[in-house]
């Protein structure tokens, strides 16, 4: 087996505390009914850059339940009496294209804020903002193509119409790992369908979501259509789930909170969309291009410091090629640059919070205690400078270990081996999650047959964490309910009304 446990500090890019971009200290206000507002209490939340110890980079309001209710009331008015739901698709589309253009025009500013709030590499953040403009563009294009159906085959004297209508007011609750992307995967689909929105981003990373709504206002999206409230899960998020003025809750985050919101929604028979956790398998067959697979596996597990719901955190490798693959993977893992999010060369940035870094480390300790072989990493680095965790690789993992089953949400790879395709698929399916999966093979038939048997909503053959607005995303099993993106994404935010039209005189019931 190639590799011993080593941490190469030479790959660690120490954050530069004199970087002038750290003086940003942005002060944000919530956007409610087209106006920028503070919490009525005046309370705020400070965000310290996770990559730069002690440096506050953004401040936003801490909304109370009443602050959120004002935003819900604004969204309700905009839906019930405002122009948006009644506007033509073409007009909605035109305004949404403008939002996409404005996002691109502010790419650098948004990328810097996203990088500082989340701790992600600036180059990655820049790419993500570009992708978000594309998400808005796609949804803008589709917004004028949404249609219902007609049924002209139900009898000569009858015509059936299926009207597509917006669901109403949607509460969108997002996590901290990809704030701008996750909001861009939901808000344009919801408003494109004619809904109005109250977005509650994570309390850790709220700034860029506020900027998104401000850009939408600048583009001419009417007041009250896209509101943003900031604050803690309870009360701000919880009110969105509980308030009868909200018709649907679209939640992205942990299984723990998602389950709770599902229960609340069930009590009031409110529509709910849930995108929750994952434990993505990456299956590598012996016939795979091993260089490409090793590169993809590294990307899949280290991207966003592993804080990614579709992270490929479980490597399932065919036994005969394990050593050859691990040699390549360890080589990349030893060389990959991690550290300062503002350095253009950085590939892996910081962890979101001290508590989360500790949680990741406790999983690593559990893996060691359970007898897994720690080949690389497994410790925090540059602790005085920020929240950094070294790229970490485990081999000799067995399916019963917590590091094989549970979502670690850090740059930690768990490697297991298999002998047959059936065994690989069974192992891939042996978690409570079903969000994503990758298969690496040069035999397309074999790869497709495996993918068909894996219970996961977002799958890749010979790639990982790839995405395009056209294809749906979403979870099987405990990874969630519903689908976002593509044409399917609009159905989540649509009601379908059947209209029976009688042509001519109906046959009498009581003659």
Catalytic residues: 275, 309
Burial 109-141 (b: 16+ CB within 10 A, else e): ebbbbbbbbbbbbbbbbbebbebbbbbbbbbbe
Q: Taking CB under 6 A as the rule, does residue 227 contact ligand NAD?
A: no
Question: Rounded to an integer, what distance in angstroms lies between the CA atom of residue 234 and that of residue 59?
Answer: 19
Q: What are phi and psi of 51, to 5 degrees?
A: -90, -5
Report the residue from 49, 124, 202, 417 that binds ligand NAD according to the rule CB under 6 A.
Answer: 202
Q: Taking CB under 6 A as the rule, does residue 67 contact ligand NAD?
A: no
Please choose, out of 10-18, 80-88, 269-277, 395-403, the segment that lies near ligand NAD by the rule CB under 6 A: 269-277
Nearest distance in Å: CB 251, ligand NAD: 7
- Closest to ligand NAD by CB, 181 or 193: 181
Report the residue from 253, 312, 382, 410 that binds ligand NAD according to the rule CB under 6 A.
Answer: 253
Nearest distance in Å: CB 409, ligand NAD: 6
- Closest to ligand NAD by CB, 3 or 474: 474
- Closest to ligand NAD by CB, 309 or 412: 309
Q: Taking CB under 6 A as the rule, does residue 278 contact ligand NAD?
A: yes
Which has the closest alpha carbon to 183: 171, 193, 195?
171
CB 137 within 8 A of CB 95: no
401-420 residues near ligand NAD, rule: CB under 6 A: 407, 409
Q: Taking CB under 6 A as the rule, does residue 50 contact ligand NAD?
A: no
What interhelical angle do 107-118 and 122-143 show, nearest 10? 120
Report the residue from 265, 272, 276, 364 that binds ligand NAD according to the rule CB under 6 A.
Answer: 276
Nearest distance in Å: CB 233, ligand NAD: 2
CB 469 within 8 A of CB 491: no
Question: Rounded to an integer, what distance in angstroms lies between the CA atom of residue 177 and that of residue 125?
Answer: 11
Q: Say which residues have a Cβ less than 8 Å from residue 96's Cβ, sequence separation at least 6.
A: 136, 139, 140, 143, 188, 191, 192, 219, 221
Question: Rounded to an integer, what distance in angstroms lies between the CA atom of residue 187 and that of residue 174?
Answer: 11
Please choose, out of 117-125, 195-203, 323-331, 490-498, the segment that lies near ligand NAD by the rule CB under 6 A: 195-203
Report the residue from 11, 124, 252, 414 that binds ligand NAD according to the rule CB under 6 A.
Answer: 252
Q: Taking CB under 6 A as the rule, does residue 465 contact ligand NAD?
A: no
DSSP conformation letters of 265-330:
HHHTT-EEEEE-----EEEE-TTS-HHHHHHHHHHHHHGGGG--TT---EEEEEGGGHHHHHHHHH
Q: Are strands 314-318 and 412-418 parallel, antiparallel or unpaired?
A: parallel
Nearest distance in Å: CB 350, ligand NAD: 15
- Closest to ligand NAD by CB, 252 or 441: 252
- Closest to ligand NAD by CB, 185 or 340: 185
Helix (H, G, I), strand (E, B) or coil at 438: strand
Where are the alpha helices (H) located in 49-186, listed in sequence order?
65-80, 89-105, 107-118, 122-143, 179-184
Question: Rounded to an integer, what distance in angstroms lies between the CA atom of residue 412 and that of residue 377?
Answer: 9
Nearest distance in Å: CB 237, ligand NAD: 2
Nearest distance in Å: CB 41, ligand NAD: 18
Q: Write the burial class of residue 507 (CB in 10 Å: 0-12 exposed, 13-18 middle, 19+ buried).
A: exposed
Please choose, out of 56-64, 144-152, 246-254, 502-510, the segment that lies near ligand NAD by the rule CB under 6 A: 246-254
Nearest distance in Å: CB 332, ligand NAD: 24
- Closest to ligand NAD by CB, 219 or 413: 413
Question: Rounded to an integer, what distance in angstroms lies between the CA atom of residue 173 and that of residue 175?
Answer: 7
Question: Rounded to an integer, what distance in angstroms lies between the CA atom of residue 102 and that of residue 97?
Answer: 9
134-193 residues near ligand NAD, rule: CB under 6 A: 173-177, 182
Nearest distance in Å: CB 453, ligand NAD: 21
- Closest to ligand NAD by CB, 62 or 318: 62
* Interface with ligand NAD: number of residues (CB under 6 A): 31
Q: Are strands 373-376 and 392-395 parallel, antiparallel or unpaired?
A: antiparallel
Nearest distance in Å: CB 414, ligand NAD: 16
Report the residue from 234, 263, 422, 466 that binds ligand NAD according to the rule CB under 6 A.
Answer: 234
300-359 residues near ligand NAD, rule: CB under 6 A: 309
Interface residues with ligand NAD (CB under 6 A) are: 173-177, 182, 200, 202-203, 232-234, 237-238, 241, 252-254, 257, 260-261, 275-278, 309, 407, 409, 435, 475, 480
């Amino acid at each position: 087996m190639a590799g011993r446990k080593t941490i190469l500090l030479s790959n660690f890019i120490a954050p530069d505390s004199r970087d002038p971009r750290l003086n940003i200290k942005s002060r944000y206000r919530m956007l409610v009914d087209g106006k920028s507002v503070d919490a009525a209490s005046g309370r705020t939340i400070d965000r310290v850059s996770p990559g730069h110890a002690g440096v506050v980079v953004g401040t936003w309001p801490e909304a109370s339940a009443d602050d959120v209710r004002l935003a819900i009331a604004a969204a309700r008015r905009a839906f019930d009496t405002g122009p948006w739901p009644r506007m033509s698709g073409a007009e909605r589309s035109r305004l949404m294209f403008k939002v996409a253009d404005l996002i691109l025009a502010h790419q650098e500013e948004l990328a810097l804020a996203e990088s500082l709030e989340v701790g992600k590499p600036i180059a990655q953040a820049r790419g993500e903002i570009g992708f978000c403009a594309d998400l808005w563009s796609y949804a803008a294009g589709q917004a004028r193509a949404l249609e219902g159906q007609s049924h002209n085959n139900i009898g000569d004297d009858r015509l059936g119409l299926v009207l597509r209508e917006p669901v109403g007011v949607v509460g969108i609750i997002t996590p901290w790992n990809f704030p701008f992307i996750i909001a861009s995967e939901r808000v344009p689909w919801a408003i494109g369908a004619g809904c109005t929105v109250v977005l509650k981003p994570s309390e850790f990373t709220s700034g860029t979501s506020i900027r998104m709504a401000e850009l939408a206002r600048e583009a001419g999206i009417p007041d009250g259509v896209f509101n943003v409230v900031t604050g803690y899960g309870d009360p701000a998020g919880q009110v969105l789930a509980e308030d009868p003025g909200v018709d649907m809750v679209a939640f992205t985050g942990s299984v723990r909170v998602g389950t709770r919101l599902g229960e609340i929604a069930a009590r009031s028979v409110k529509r709910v969309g849930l995108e929750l956790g994952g434990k993505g398998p990456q299956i590598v067959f012996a016939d795979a291009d091993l260089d490409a697979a090793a590169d993809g596996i590294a990307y899949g597990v280290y991207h966003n410091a592993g804080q990614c719901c579709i992270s490929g955190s479980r490597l399932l490798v065919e036994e005969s090629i394990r050593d050859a693959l691990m040699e390549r993977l360890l080589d990349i893992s030893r060389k990959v640059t991690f550290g300062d999010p503002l350095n253009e060369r950085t590939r892996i940035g910081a962890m979101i919070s001290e508590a989360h870094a500790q949680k990741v480390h406790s999983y690593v300790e559990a893996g060691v205690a359970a007898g897994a072989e720690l080949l690389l990493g497994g410790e925090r680095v540059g602790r005085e400078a920020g929240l950094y965790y070294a790229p970490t690789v485990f081999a000799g993992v067995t399916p019963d270990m917590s590091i094989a089953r549970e979502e670690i949400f850090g740059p930690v790879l768990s490697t297991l081996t298999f002998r047959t395709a059936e065994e690989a698929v069974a192992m891939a399916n042996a978690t409570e999650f079903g969000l994503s999966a990758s298969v690496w093979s040069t035999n397309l038939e074999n790869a497709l047959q495996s993918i068909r048997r894996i219970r996961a909503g977002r799958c890749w053959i010979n790639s990982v964490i790839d995405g395009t607005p056209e294809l749906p995303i979403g979870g099987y099993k405990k990874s969630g309910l519903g689908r976002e993106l593509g044409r399917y994404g609009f159905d989540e935010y649509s009601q379908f009304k059947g209209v029976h039209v009688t042509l001519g005189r109906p046959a009498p019931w009581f003659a």
